[in-house]
């Protein structure tokens, strides 16, 4: 149980375009999902907390207008990288938990390359 | 906020030997400490976790110890196998206030290589 599915697994886009990444909890409902960013050989950095039915909470330094998060249902959160630039190239990973005191489970990540 | 330090950054062991990875945390209120294994190009996978009311937890070849006084916890892998090669992350968190979901603070990661 507690499977988190992320799509796509990789995407290449041109500079200036927008990219949407989906995160789904397959066998449980998640009122809260988390979006992380990971650069090569570095740790995971929390970008934002996605709350179902309300606005996301962004970490300091993360531009909310650039990284749009929509958590429209209890099983789906989306991250849209708007007007992507090469410096946005990274590995984006979502996570969710079945309950407030349950372990955090991660998706398999999305490798974004902006050319 | 919480700060988690992890050592070593790289670790190479011979197959069959044990591997130990150590982490320290700064916030004495942290009460949940998971360990994740991340293989290349994949998301982190939870391998074991421990809560602050327990000093040690074991699951087959993997064990975690927690010293709340010293604010450090360690991952122990015995009888290592080549498939144990991956990046391992420790993390710490505490229950959020007002019922908010806890957030994890990750260590910097340890690249473990098990040599056949």
- Work out the pLDDT band at B95, boundaries 50, 70, 90: low
Mean local confidence (pLDDT), B86-100: 75
Average pLDDT, chain B: 92
Mean pLDDT of chain A: 92
For chain A, say whether B81 makes contact (Cβ under 8 Å): no
Q: Does A58 touch chain B if contact means CB atoms closer than 8 Å?
A: no
Q: Mean pLDDT over residues A100-111, rounded?
A: 88
User: Among residues of chain A, what percentage have pLDDT more than 70?
Assistant: 98
Query: What are the pLDDT digits (tens) for A18-57?
Result: 999 999 999 898 888 999 999 988 999 999 998 888 889 9
Q: Tell me the β-bridge partners of B73.
A: B23, B66
Judge whether B26 and B36 are in contact, CB under 8 Å. Answer: no
**Residue B103: closest CA among A13, A2, A47:** A47
Structural tokens at position A21: 């990444």
- Is the Cβ pair B46, A44 closer than 8 Å? no
Mark yes or no for CB contact B108/A109 under 8 Å. no
How does residue B96 score in pLDDT terms, banded at 50, 70 and 90?
Answer: low
Looking at residue A87, the DSSP 8-state letter turns out to be: G
Q: Which residues contact B33 (CB under 8 A, 6 or more apart)?
A: B23, B25, B49, B50, B51, B52, B64, B66, B73, B90, B91, B92
Q: What is the pLDDT of residue B84?
A: 98
């449980």: which residue's tokens?
A28
Q: Measure A99 CA to nearest chain B CA, in Å.
A: 8
Mutate to test the interface with A, among B10, B31, B32, B44 (most CBs of A within 10 A): B44
Residue B102 confidence class, pLDDT cut points 50, 70, 90: low
Minimal Cα distance from B46: which residue of A? A105
Nearest CA in chain A to B90: A43
For residue B97, what pLDDT is reported? Answer: 43
pLDDT tens by residue, B46-64:
999 999 888 999 999 999 9
Q: How far apart are CA B36 and CA A17, in angstroms?
A: 33
Residue with tokens 């990971």: A38
Q: Which of A24, A19, A35, A108 is nearest to A72 (CA)?
A: A24
C-beta atoms surrounding B90 within 10 Å: 30
pLDDT tens sequence across A66-82: 999 999 899 999 999 99
């Amino acid at each position: 149980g507690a499977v988190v599915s992320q799509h796509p697994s990789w995407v290449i886009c041109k500079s200036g375009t927008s990219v949407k990444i989906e995160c789904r909890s397959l066998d449980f409902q998640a009122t809260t999902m988390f979006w992380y960013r990971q650069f090569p050989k570095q740790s995971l950095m929390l970008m934002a907390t996605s709350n179902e039915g309300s606005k996301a909470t962004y970490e300091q330094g993360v531009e909310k207008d650039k990284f749009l998060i929509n958590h429209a249902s209890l099983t789906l959160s989306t991250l849209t990288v708007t007007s992507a630039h090469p410096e946005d190239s990274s590995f984006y990973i979502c996570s969710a938990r079945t309950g407030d005191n349950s372990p955090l489970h991660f998706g398999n990540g999305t490798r974004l390359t902006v050319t | 906020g919480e700060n988690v330090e992890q050592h070593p950054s790289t670790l190479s062991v011979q197959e069959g030997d044990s591997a130990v990875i150590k982490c320290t945390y700064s916030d004495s209120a942290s009460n949940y400490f998971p360990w994740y294994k991340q293989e290349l190009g994949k998301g982190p996978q939870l391998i074991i976790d421990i809560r602050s009311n327990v000093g040690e937890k074991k699951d087959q070849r993997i064990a975690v110890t927690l010293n709340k006084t010293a604010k450090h916890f360690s991952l122990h892998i015995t009888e290592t196998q080549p498939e144990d090669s991956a990046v391992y992350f420790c993390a710490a968190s505490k229950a959020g206030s007002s019922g908010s979901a806890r957030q994890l603070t990750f260590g910097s990661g340890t690249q473990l290589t098990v040599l056949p």
